[in-house]
């Protein structure tokens, strides 16, 4: 193949090397606008995993790179006068200039043609496209090729909030990758520092837009800006200066990180590589690492024997998914630093843990593998904060709301069963909830218990009122007598989402007209075309439904429930008032968020007044309607939670979505945790969270980082009623109690698990 590579950075060079190693007959030329030894960064970070891939691909360049590495195993966090170090992280740094020179040398060894100080215009790119079999655009985050064929590549560039400047120093940071957080007169400013050769370290300074503006960095020259950074970080620099190699840039050299994504990575015979196709924030590692790994896969596909179109398509589909995992982690890390103000008041132990796990790539058990001593200290700290003299994992820490004391932080999430008869719970409900109470969770939620027959979602949904007290009492009494679990009644009204079929008969589909019942909602908007059109509630309707909620609360108290939750999420009746998607009223209950919250707060206050003072009450909210600015947003969720806190809510159960069928949710592992985290930190109220959480690792990471206080699992508890007991076995926790009749099972499960661990299974 005749191949032109646009851009002589690490990705372009390594691709050319990889192609030549697979077939030396390829005619490959690299075109670079700068001189061979020009570079505008400092160090490049490469992980152990990346180096393993490079070693398998080309042992020669791998050896050349390793001989110039600066290694570190520790991450050190310095905040003001306090510092904390954890180990086992396994990274290495190399100077970007050295890396480029080594890759240039290797490229020449294998026969790649290098053309420097060569400007490539749009016309030249188009000409190369017609002359070559393949054009590889490795021309960086400001890729001219990507701009030229923007209609084909469909790029999106998201300029992030924080400002940063890439500096170097001869101060030694050779003992750890160091994060330094300094509080100044204008707010917090921080540095990412790491050694990359014997006498030079990268020193990236970052701050929020507010601090950037307050210091006037945009108006300062580079020398003035550097001098100010030297003053801020003087005690960490040991008399050494900060240096820039960005003199070619006009102005201060501070930038905001551009997050680049592209819908397509190739067009005809042009393919994007490295930062041209996708960027990963510097806080999780190196774009060079990502680009070099992509270069290996691209070379593999091009040399697979498949037609060019097939090879490029396979490369795009497979590598794009791998890069998405990294860029998603990078997004999490980026946003953590953008929201740093939430976390700076955390205890140093929790702050360090939150920083280490910010991207979600490093999990709780992964930290145990890296530094078991440090993690054990963190777990002991967490248990101590919970008033427990223990070193068990965070999920097994006790928790208290008012007079309700939970033995652990695992919660069985509300899950509709659709097995009620005429609004009454059946033996199915007793067995379902009793089994999960026996399974070790600290708290068990009922599904939404409806305040009236007209408030049901389906004919199979249960109610709670005077006539259901006996059935619910039987369940509560069993739970209290036979298990350590507490039990919560989630109380709600379906609103416009009512009068629908059982889930397995067509979820949200309307009942036959003969079986349907009238509905109420904030506005007369049906759930879907063909569903019952609800009546927009008038004052009499509001008073009637409020009284139904109060009667439900009295019934829950009579049944002995430990806690109640008002369901104000997912488009049900109370949520229909809160969301602007479903509330189109023009009276005092519509319009502004304050007005839309008026009726839900009326109901909350009436419920709280009817519920015993010593028992807790929570509220479930939809923190995001997933409908852009037209719906409830995470910003709104903070204001909504603050209003419920003021009214006396003990915690907020943070959920999202299910408001309207036009939603466009973004799912992923623990996808609702950021909403709960924000509410917890900004409102100062405990939070509960669910949403694609299914491993002990997830729970422990969420709790230890202070992102929520209780963690709800739904589907895992459908698959395994004894999920918590089995999780304890998996973690080697022998303190977890089992029901007395199951003691033999506990001993055997722990023995088998210990045997597997000893065998390395």
Instruction: Point out the residues that are catalytic.
Output: 572
Residue among 450, 458, 452, 455 nearest 499 (CA)? 458
Whether 623 and 654 have beta carbons less than 8 Å apart is answered as yes
CA distances to 3, 57, 274, 288, 316 from 293, in Å = 19, 10, 9, 9, 13
Q: Which of 700, 698, 718 is nearest to 436 (CA)?
A: 718
Tell how strand 563-568 and strand 177-184 pair up. Answer: unpaired
Exposed / middle / buried, residue 744 (Cβ in 10 Å: 0-12, 13-18, 19+):
exposed
Under 8 Å between Cβ of 302 and 190: no
Which residue, among 735, 758, 738, 754, has the nearest Cα to 746 in the 3D structure?
A: 738
Question: How is 140-196 classified by DSSP, letter by letter?
Answer: -TT-HHHHHTHHHH-EEEEEEEEEEEEEEESS--TTSEEEEEEEETTEEEEEEEEE-
Please list, in sequence order, all residues whose beta carbon lies within 8 angstroms of the beta carbon of residue 378, skipping any fewer than 6 positions away.
Answer: 349, 350, 353, 704
Whether residue 190 contacts residue 181, with contact meaning beta carbons closer than 8 Å, is answered with yes
Q: Are 522 and 437 in contact (CB under 8 A)?
A: no
Sequence-ordered alpha helix ranges (H) in 448-533: 469-482
Secondary structure of the chain: what % helix, strand, coil (to 5)?
Answer: 45, 20, 35
- The dihedrals phi and psi of 708, each to the nearest 5 degrees, come to -165, 170
Token couple for 253: 């050299």
What is the 3 state secondary structure string of 280-299?
CCHHHCCHHHHHHHHHHHHH
Who's near 231: CB < 8 A, 6+ residues apart?
Answer: none
425 by DSSP, 3-state: which?
coil
């Amino acid at each position: 193949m005749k191949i032109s590579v646009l851009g002589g950075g690490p990705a372009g060079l390594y691709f050319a090397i990889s192609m030549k190693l697979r077939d030396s007959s390829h005619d490959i030329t690299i075109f670079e606008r700068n001189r061979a030894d020009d570079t505008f960064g400092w160090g490049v970070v490469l992980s152990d995993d990346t180096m393993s891939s490079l070693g398998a691909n080309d042992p020669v360049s791998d050896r050349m790179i390793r001989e110039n590495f600066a290694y570190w195993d520790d991450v050190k966090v310095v905040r003001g006068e306090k510092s904390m170090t954890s180990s086992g992280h396994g990274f290495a740094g190399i100077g970007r200039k050295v890396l480029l020179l080594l890759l240039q040398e290797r490229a020449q060894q294998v026969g790649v043609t290098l053309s420097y100080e060569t400007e490539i215009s749009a016309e030249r790119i188009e000409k190369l496209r017609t002359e070559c079999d393949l054009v590889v655009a490795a021309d960086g985050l400001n890729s001219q090729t990507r701009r030229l064929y923007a209609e084909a590549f469909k790029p999106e560039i998201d300029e992030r909030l924080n400002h940063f400047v890439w500096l170097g120093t001869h101060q030694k940071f050779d003992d750890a990758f160091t994060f330094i957080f300094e509080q100044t007169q204008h707010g917090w400013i921080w540095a990412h520092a790491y050694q990359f050769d014997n006498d030079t370290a990268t020193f990236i300074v970052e701050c929020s837009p507010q601090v950037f503006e307050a210091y006037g960095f945009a108006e300062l020259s580079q020398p003035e800006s550097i001098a100010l950074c030297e003053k801020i970080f003087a005690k960490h620099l040991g008399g050494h200066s900060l240096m820039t190699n960005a003199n070619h840039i006009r102005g201060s050299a501070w930038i905001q990180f551009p997050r680049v994504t592209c819908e397509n990575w190739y067009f005809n015979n042009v393919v994007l590589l490295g930062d041209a196709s996708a960027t990963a924030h510097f806080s999780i590692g190196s774009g060079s690492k990502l680009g070099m790994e992509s270069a290996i896969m691209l070379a593999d596909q091009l040399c697979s024997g498949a037609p060019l179109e097939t090879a490029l398509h396979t490369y795009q589909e497979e590598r794009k998914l791998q890069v998405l995992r990294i860029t998603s982690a990078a997004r999490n890390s980026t946003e953590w630093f953008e929201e740093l103000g939430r976390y700076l008041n955390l205890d140093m132990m929790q702050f360090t843990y939150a920083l280490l796990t910010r991207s979600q790539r490093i999990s709780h058990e992964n930290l145990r593998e890296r530094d078991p001593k440090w993690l054990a200290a963190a777990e002991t700290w967490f248990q101590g904060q919970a008033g427990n003299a223990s070193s068990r994992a965070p999920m097994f820490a006790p928790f208290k709301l008012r007079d309700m004391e939970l033995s652990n932080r695992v919660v069985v999430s509300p899950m509709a069963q659709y097995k009620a008869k005429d609004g009454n719970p059946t033996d199915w409900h007793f067995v379902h909830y009793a089994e999960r109470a026996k399974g070790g969770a600290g708290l068990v939620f009922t599904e939404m218990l409806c305040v009236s027959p007209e408030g049901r979602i389906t004919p199979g949904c249960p109610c709670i009122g005077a006539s259901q007290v006996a059935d619910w009492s039987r369940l509560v009494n069993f739970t209290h007598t036979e298990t350590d679990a507490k039990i919560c009644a989630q109380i709600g009204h379906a609103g416009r989402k009512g009068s629908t079929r059982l889930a397995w008969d067509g979820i949200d589909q309307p009942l036959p007209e003969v079986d349907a019942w009238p509905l109420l909602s904030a506005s007369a908007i049906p759930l879907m075309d063909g569903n019952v059109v609800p009546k927009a509630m008038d004052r009499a309707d509001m008073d009637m439904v409020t009284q139904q909620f109060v009667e439900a609360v009295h019934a829950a108290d009579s049944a002995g429930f430990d806690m109640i939750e008002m369901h104000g999420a997912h488009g049900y009746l109370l949520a229909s008032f809160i969301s602007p998607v479903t509330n189109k009223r023009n009276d005092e209950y519509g319009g502004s968020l304050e007005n839309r919250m008026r009726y839900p707060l009326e109901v909350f206050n009436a419920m709280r007044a009817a519920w015993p003072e010593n028992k807790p009450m929570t509220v479930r909210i939809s923190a995001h309607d997933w409908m852009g600015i037209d719906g409830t947003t995470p910003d709104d969720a903070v204001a909504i939670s603050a209003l419920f806190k003021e009214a006396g809510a003990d915690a907020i159960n943070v959920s999202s979505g299910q408001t309207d069928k036009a939603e466009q949710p973004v799912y992923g592992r623990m996808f609702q945790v950021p909403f709960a985290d924000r509410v917890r930190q900004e409102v100062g109220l405990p939070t509960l969270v669910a949403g694609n959480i299914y491993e002990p690792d997830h729970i422990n990471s969420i709790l230890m980082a202070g992102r929520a206080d209780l963690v709800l699992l739904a589907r895992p508890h459908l698959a395994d009623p004894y999920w918590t007991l089995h999780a304890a076995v998996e973690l080697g926790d022998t303190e977890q109690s089992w029901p007395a009749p199951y003691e033999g099972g506990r001993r055997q499960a722990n023995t088998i698990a210990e045997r597997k661990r000893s065998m390395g299974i």
